[in-house]
Every structure is written in structure tokens, then in C-alpha cells.
Chain A
Amino acid sequence: MLAKRVFFNKYSIGTKITMALGICIVYGVFLYTQGANPFLIYYEMFQATFGNVYGIGEVAIKATPFILTALAVAIPARVGLISVGGEGQLACGALSSTFAAVYIFKDMPSFIGIPMLLLAGALGGALWAVVPGILKIVARVNETITTLLLNYVAFFLVGYFIYGILKSPDAYGWPFSPRFSDSLRLPTLEGTRIHIGILIAVAVAIIVWYVTMYTHLGFRMRVVGGNVKAAKHSGIIVERMQFVTLIVGGAVGGLAGVIEVSGIEGHLRPMTGVGYGYMGFLVAWMAGNHPLLIIPFAILLAAISVGGNALEMHSGLNSSIVLILMGFILIVILAIGKRGGK
């Protein structure tokens, strides 16, 4: 679980480039069979993502929740826990912050409202993680399964409120929450959609990185993650550590939810952020749970999905063609990333 599993440290630059080229070629051949010019498509995908300010902005917006949900996986992973609960934590963060925005902080000025909103979201995610935490420590139920199950419960919980008391009367019957007041929207960069969420995500990543790498607490987490018995022998209260990391992970996952709602959509929909939790799990896996490596991998996956949307507009191919690329890349990395055998 520790950084030594980091995939990209295991291979030389040459191998990595060969691999990337191999993926491009195979996928290019596939595109060609679909009647498209692969070179043109790669060029367009690049243009749409890193070719201009707008594209870079879109990638940043998309990468933000991936970074946070990946951190929600990576923090518990530091103490050896496998959480797949980013999905549910994001949903609960979004839900609790929507409640806060609609009922409590509606008329607050930004400088109080937005921090309170972030706090509310983090709290929501953390509370959602309390359930698997308690089940893990008290009832010894495996956290992977409970977090996976609770993802669905959270999804339906959001649906329950969105179709119920949170449903906006002004949404023409759509299942949307009321719109957040403007003072509660995350500030954006002048003239773009880029909001401060990406800064928050990167800042959280850096904090997590600093804490895990350069503090006594992080050191003790590494001991628990590396060898539970050794940790107990050296007087660390392992259960408390596991509980706390699960909850902190949940809080970070909850942040992803607030940022998605307050930064981009402005209201909560049933499908807000669906699938981002699982994406985060894959990002964390590829980055070997290293808090900083998560950022480039999140950007990579974000770029692929943004590039896909652009493709549909320009080349007429269905945008889902990039999901194929994404799945293909993931499978190749998984197949090659870790040596077979024991």
C-alpha cells in the first residue's frame, strides 16, 4: 500500500514512453477502423484539453473532484484500509452542503458563507464515513464492503431529498435543488469557469502529503499501514488511528461534493458527481496512494474525458469512444503495473 508500489517508479522513462506509444498506436488503429483519422483526432483532443486556456480550465475543473476522491481513498490506504467510499462521501458532502446553503447560510456574505459551506460538506462526508468506521472498529466488518454498499445508500439518500423536501419549485419539474445564492458560489477566475476548487484540491493534496511524509502523525500512520503488529508493539492505538483516517478521508471526499455543487452546478442533481468516486479509486491506485502523484493522474483522466467531449463536437464520433480509451489505458496499466507471481 505504500509508495513503493507506485507504478511509475518501477519502470524506466523509456519503458513508459514505449507503453504510452503502444496505447496510442493500438487505439489509433481502432479509430482508423471506425473511419476516423487518428492523427487528426489526437490533435483535436490535445487542442481541446491543453491547446488553449479554455481547455486547460475544463481539465482543471474535471480533475478537481478526482483529486479529492482519490485522496479520500489514499488517506485510509496509508493505514492499510481499502475504502471505495469516495462515491458516497461525495454525495453526502454535496447533500449536506446543499442543505446548509438552502436553509442556513442563504444570505451570508461569501467570506463567511463559503468556508461554512465547505465545512458543512466535509462534515457530511465525515459523518458518512463514521458508519464504516464504527462497523470496522466495533463489529469488525470489512470496510471495503461497507463503503461500497453505503455508496448506493448515499445515492438513494440524495434522490430521496432531491425528489422530496429539497426539490426546487422553480425547476420546471426537474429534480433539482434550489439554486445556491450567488454569494455561496465558489469564486471563479474572471471570464472562465475555473473556480478556486482546484486550488483547494491541490492544497489538500499538499497538506496530506506533508502530514503523511513529514510529521510524527504521518510516520505513525505509515507504521500502522506497514505492519499492524509492529504498530501495536510500539504502543500505537491502531483502532483509533484507523477510525480517524477513515473519517478524515470521508471529510475530504465530502469536500469534493461541495466543490462540485457550489463550484460548477450551482444546485444539486441526482446525478451530481456520480462515478467520480470510482474514478478517484483508480486514480489513487495508479498513483500508489501518493498524495502528490494523485494530481497528475487525476489530470490525465480528466483530460481524457474532456477530450472525449470535444471529439463528439468536432469529428462526429460518439463521445463514449474515449471511455474505451480510458478503460483500455487502465487495463493496460493494471496488467503491466505490477509484476505477476508472488
Chain B
Amino acid sequence: MRNALKLNTTVGDTVKNESMTTPLLEARGITIRFGDLVANDKVNISVKAGQIHAILGENGAGKSTLMKILYGVYKQDEGTTFVAGEPATLHPPARAKSYGIGMVFQDFRLVPALTVLENIVLAMPRLGFWLNRKNLHDQILETAARYHIMVDPDAYIWQLDLGQRQRVEIIKVLIACDTRVIIFDEPTSVLTPQEVESFLAMLKKLRTGGYGILLITHKIGEVINCADYVTVLREGRVTYHAGRKNGFKENELVKQMIGEKEISTVNKTKGRDSKKIVLRVENFTVKCDKGRKILQEINFTLKSGEITGIAGISGNGQRELVEALFGLRTPVSGNIFLENINLVGSHPKKFLESGIVYVPEDLIDEQVVPGLSILEHMILGGIPVTSKRFNVDWRKAHFDMVGLEEVQRLGVASPERRVDQLSGGNVQRMVLARAMARIPKVLLVSYPSKGLDIFTVRTVHGMLFSLKEKGVAILVISEDLTELFSLSDTLIVLANQRVHGPHDPDETHPHAIGQIMLKGGEE
């Protein structure tokens, strides 16, 4: 079975011609479901030797799922996969690997405490007992040199930045000698603009080297830069397919990715005119967990009675920004003025007491305390606590909670239920109700509609509007442009370590925002 691909390695004219016609890897009619969700619906895709095939789509369009099927991580429910024209089962990954398929994951499969060389050794199954470091050293450098990849085999992974780690992953895939098809999962999301450039140059070298390349991305610029073919996925279906010969039209691709969504602004109420600046962010620079500056010298303001939407592809500093605005992350430099009091350097406790409330994205990880009930969660930075003999007056808290308008309107589950046994949507309802119950000065919300049904989403939006009426300054982070356009009074885009905007959603077309998001703000 393994030999099927090796045929192509002898580059003769006939073979080359054949390989131009027979795809190295092909998938027909792939369907996979997770519960009710159809992640891929009758997807066809193929890649030939010496081709870069880009798979374009928004987050959640089913790109990663499709690639994991091709790498054998998941098994498709329907459809067939072909290797060099022959039907082949790819599951599990070891088998896909033996067919010459390699994948460079978004979350790298590297051991930080080991050196580059040792990590590569882990991926080489046919190695003897002894480690011939010198030999391996040369082998790595040779492979790296062929594609102009810079690596130091003796560096430790933890010393490397993300771009360098990615190169190690790529070498790992290349050095396994059977590899013919390489799948890249959002490779540029961790790279700086300069690194992206050299990465794309390397991709082209790999293409010349005869590899078949599948490139998952949501950045249109990359597609236009290097792809031979592009397939656009939306909600699990292929919506568009084109080759370079037909030409890629940027506008067409944006439209196909985002879809013809109806942007309704029906419910939006204009806030009061006398808008007062509540929160002012000045020259703000924040580092991400990896120690890289993810936002640099940004400035913006939040006004009372106004919803500010933050758009952007996830991973562009949204999380770091709100965490810093709540005191969970100390900024490298810059100031946060809440009504002229600088809060930088204070504990979240101070932020909370000053009237900032934060609803994070990953509620299970950051908000749920195992074993505690809804009522117990509600008093955590929510319902004010009255004490009774050293203890929380739970009866009063219970009474307060049941009486809350927000709790009733959002349909929060009964106070005695344990939160760690609730569904994601119910947790979201609880956390939102708690945040609103406080009537804060500033409300920071990440992904307010994540995991909620349409009806609840409307309720949540309604509650945000009524808070706005009460004069709260609200910051909403979302990737869903529809949501942002229907909620926001002003829009800011985070891309390329900078803030772009503010834009007025009534006077800006969603596609323009989408372009800034996707192209990293090269306006």
C-alpha cells in the first residue's frame, strides 16, 4: 500500500504527466456529523502533486474537521477517500501517515523541554536504538536547506517563538521520507506579517518540490498570493471552487465566505445623545501568554449608553484586551482610565468594585466552580452579599436572585442546580444574568451568543439594549459580523496588533469590515 505513492518519486515525463492527472489525495462526498451538527456535508476535494490547494472559510465552517478526516483523526460517516486514485481508508492517523500524508497542526505537537532534534526523532519511526546526533543534525539541516527553512537543531523548543516552532513541525513532516501531501492548518495565524511572507515563499518551494499541499486559511491575501486552486467552505458545504486560471476575485471570495447574510438593524435603538466617555484606553500594549506583543499602542474609548463592537478574527488580541481591561493581565504599558481614575496595576477586585464586569469567552474554564450551585455562583461578583452570622445570608440571596428581572427573562435554571452539570447555554444565561444584575458602569462581553439558541440570543441582545438604555458602556467581542452589526453603535476591528476604526455600522458595509479582518488591515 505504501508503495502506491512512491511511484511518483521517479520523475520521468510519463510519470509526471500521470501525476498531473491523478490526484495524490482525493475525497468524494465526505459527510460527518457531530450529534445534530453536520460539520461536513458532501464535500469533494482533491490535491495533485505540485499544487497548492487552499481551503477558505470562516471559523466553524468545517475546514479543520475536513482536514482531520484527511489525516485520519476522524472517520467520515459517508464518502470515500482515494490515495493516488485508489480507494483508501485513512483512519487512524498512523495509516494516513503511511500513505504519505503529513499534517502541520495549529497546536503544535512538540515537547517544549526537548530540543528540535529530539522532537524530530520522536516522529521518525524507523530509527535504531542509538541516537546518531551528528547524522541526524546533518539530515535536518539538509532538509531545511532544501526549502530555505532556518532551524537550529540543538535549540530547545521552549526557546523558540511560534514561527520557529512551526518550522520544526514542517521539518518533522518533511523528514518522514514518504510524505507526499502536506496539510497546513491555519499556518499563518501564529505568524507575524514578516514571517508570513517567508512562509508563503517556502510553500511555493514545496510546491516546486512536488508536494501536494492543502492550505487551510481564512486569509484571502494568502490565497491570492500562492494558491493554484481554492475551495470555499461555508457551514460545512462547498460553496465555491475555482482555479487560478479563472482568476481569483477578492470580492467574490469575501462574499462566498461570509455569505449573503441579512444584516438587520431593526431592533437597534439609538442611545442618548449626551454620551459621556466612561472608559479611556491609552497607548495600551499587551502581551499574549507566549510573551509576544499582541496589541501595540492602541487607543479607544467606551461611552456610556453605547455598545462598542470589537470585530476581528479570533486570536488577534481580543482575549488579551478584555483580560487587561479587567485587571487579569497587566499591560506592558498604557493606561486605563475609568472616569479619570487609572486602574492599571490594580487587582480585579478593584475593577469589579469600580463597576467593570467581565463575561469571558470560555465560561466552563473561567467561571464554573465544580460542585457549586447556581445560587452560589450568582453571588460571585454578582448579587450583593448580606452577611448573617459570618455566613452569606443564603435565604436573602435566593430571594434576591429569584426576584431579578434578568434571571426571569433569561430563564436561568433553578438556583439549586449544580452549575458543572448544566449545558453550555444554561451557563451562559447564568453568567449574563449575573453580570447584568449588577448594573455595572462598564460591561465587557466576549461572544455573548456562543452556545445559545436563536430565541435566547434575541433575549440577550434585548438585555444588552436595555442596559445601554440605563447608561452602561458595553464592549462586545464577536466574530459574527451579523451580531456585531445589529448590536453595535460603533465598531472597532482588531487586526495586526492594531485597532482599526471606529467605524459607524450604519454607514459601513459589512464586507468592508470583513476585508479589514481578513487582510489584516492593509487598507
Q: Which residues of A contact B (CB under 8 A)?
A: 2-4, 211, 214-217, 219, 222-223, 226-227, 229-237
Docked complex Cα distance between A222 and B376 (Å): 11
Is there an interface contact between A219 and B381, defined as CB atoms closer than 8 Å?
no
A/B interface sample: 21 pairs, CB < 8 A: A2-B371, A211-B390, A215-B390, A216-B387, A216-B391, A222-B369, A222-B371, A223-B369, A223-B380, A226-B372, A227-B369, A230-B367, A230-B369, A233-B348, A233-B366, A233-B367, A233-B381, A234-B380, A235-B349, A235-B381, A237-B347
Chain A interface, >50% SS class: helix
Is B328 located at the chain interface by the 8 A CB criterion? yes
Q: What separation, in Å, do the CA atoms of A227 and B387 have in the docked complex? A: 23
Q: Known interface pairs A214-B391, A215-B391. Does A227 touch B348 (Cβ–Cβ under 8 Å)?
A: no
Q: How far is the CB of A239 from chain B (nearest CB, A)?
A: 9
Interface centre among A214, A222, A227 (most CB of B within 10 A): A227
| Cβ < 8 Å to A, chain B residues 354-370 | 358, 360, 365-370
Whether the pair A237, B371 counts as a contact (CB closer than 8 A) is no
Contact partners of A233 in chain B: CB under 8 A:
326, 328, 348, 358, 360, 366-367, 380-381
Number of interface residues of B (CB under 8 A): 26
The residue of chain B having its C-beta at the shortest distance from the C-beta of A232 within the complex is B348
**Given the complex, which residues of A lie within 8 Å of B13, measured CB to CB?**
none
Partner of B349, one of A4, A227, A237: A237
Q: Let me know if B252 is at the binding interface, CB within 8 A.
A: no
Q: Point out the residues of chain B lying under 8 angstroms from A217, CB to CB.
A: 390
Q: Is the CB of B328 within 8 A of A232?
A: yes
Complex alpha-carbon distance, A4 and B372, angstroms: 11
Q: In the assembled complex, which residues on chain B have CB atoms less than 8 Å from the CB atom of A230?
A: 366-369, 380
Instruction: Look across to chain A and name the residue whose beta carbon is closest to the beta carbon of B382.
Output: A234
Chain B, interface SS category: loop
B385 within 8 A of A: yes
Tell me, rounded to whole Å, the shortest Cβ–Cβ distance linking B465 to chain A: 25
Q: B113 at the A/B interface (Cβ < 8 Å)?
A: no
Whether B353 sits at the interface, judged by CB under 8 Å, is yes
Q: CA separation between A217 and B391, bound complex, in Å?
A: 8
Question: Looking at A3, A214, A235, A237, which has the most chain B CB atoms within 10 Å of its CB?
Answer: A235
In the complex, the answer to whether B348 meets A235 with C-beta atoms within 8 Å is: yes
In chain B, what residue has the closest Cβ to A4?
B371
- Complex contact B370–A236 (CB within 8 A): no
Q: Which of B353, B370, B376 has a CB less than 8 Å from the CB of A219?
A: B376
Q: Which 3 A-B pairs have the closest CB atoms?
A: A226-B369, A234-B380, A234-B381
Contact B370 A226 (CB under 8 A): yes
- The chain A residue sitting closest to B390, CB to CB, is A215
Do B349 and A229 touch across chains, with their CB atoms under 8 A apart?
no
Cα A2 to Cα B420 with chains together (Å)? 14
Any A CB within 8 A of the CB of B352: yes
Q: Taking the complex as formed, is B150 at the interface, i.e. its CB lies under 8 A from any CB of chain A?
A: no
In the bound complex, CA of A231 to CA of B380 (Å)? 8
Contacts of B349 in A (CB 8 A): 235-237
